[in-house]
Structure 1
Amino acid sequence: MPAAPLPQKEIEDRLRELPGWSLEGDRIGCTYRLPSHFAAAALAVHVAAIQDELNHHSDLTLGYNTVALAVNSHDAGGKVTEKDLGLAARVAAVAPGHGAK
């Protein structure tokens, strides 16, 4: 069964609980700055593991000392769903352990 898109107000309210995350068009996204390239790569691998566990994948970009994510749900017509906010919450919970700001 396809995921249901969430109303914009609910997305905005929920994003207030996820520091650094914002609504960008029809996606939610965040860019984390880390102390080194190695720390950024470690966070990217951790995020990839979470995405595989949830079977829900974002666009994930590794920079020199940054990791950027952008996500929406294709099965909801490219809109933001509960699955996207769940992924964002999981990433937000692990990012500080990698030194992300």
Structure 2
Amino acid sequence: MPAAPLPREEIENRLRELPGWTLEGDRITRTFHLPSHFAAAGLTLHIAQIQDELNHHSDLTLGYNTVALQVNSHDAGGKVTEKDLTLAARVEAVAPGHGAE
């Protein structure tokens, strides 16, 4: 069963609990800055593991010392759902352990 899209106001309210995350169109996004390319690669792998655990995958981009995510739910017509906010919260919890800001 597809996830239900969340109302824009609810998404914006929930993002207040996730510093650095923003709503851009129909996606929530965040770019993390890390101390090195190796740290960024480590965070990318950690995020991939979380995505597999949740069976929910984002657009994930590894830069030299950055990791960027763009998250929405394809099964909800490309809108933001509870699954997206859960993924964002899980990523936010592990990012500081990699030195992310």
Runs in 1 of length 4+ with deviation above 6 angstroms? none
Two-structure CA RMSD over aligned residues (Å): 0.3
Q: Map 1:35-54; keep pairs closer than 5 Å.
A: 35-54=35-54
Q: Map 1:25-44; keep pairs closer than 5 Å.
A: 25-44=25-44
**Alignment partners' CA distance in 1, 2:74 and 2:92:** 22
The offset of 1:41, in angstroms, is: 0.2
Give the aligned residue type for 2:79.
K
The offset of 1:81, in angstroms, is: 0.1
2:81 matched residue in structure 1: 81
Q: Alignment partner of 2:29: what SS?
A: strand
Give the aligned residue type for 2:76.
A
**Alignment partners' CA distance in 2, 1:39 and 1:19:** 20
Structure 2 length normalisation: TM-score? Answer: 0.99
1:10 matched residue in structure 2: 10
**Alignment partners' CA distance in 2, 1:87 and 1:71:** 8
1:95 matched residue in structure 2: 95
Q: Percent identity?
A: 83
Structure 1 length normalisation: TM-score? Answer: 0.99
Gap regions ≥5 residues in structure 1: none
**Alignment partners' CA distance in 2, 1:15 and 1:4:** 17
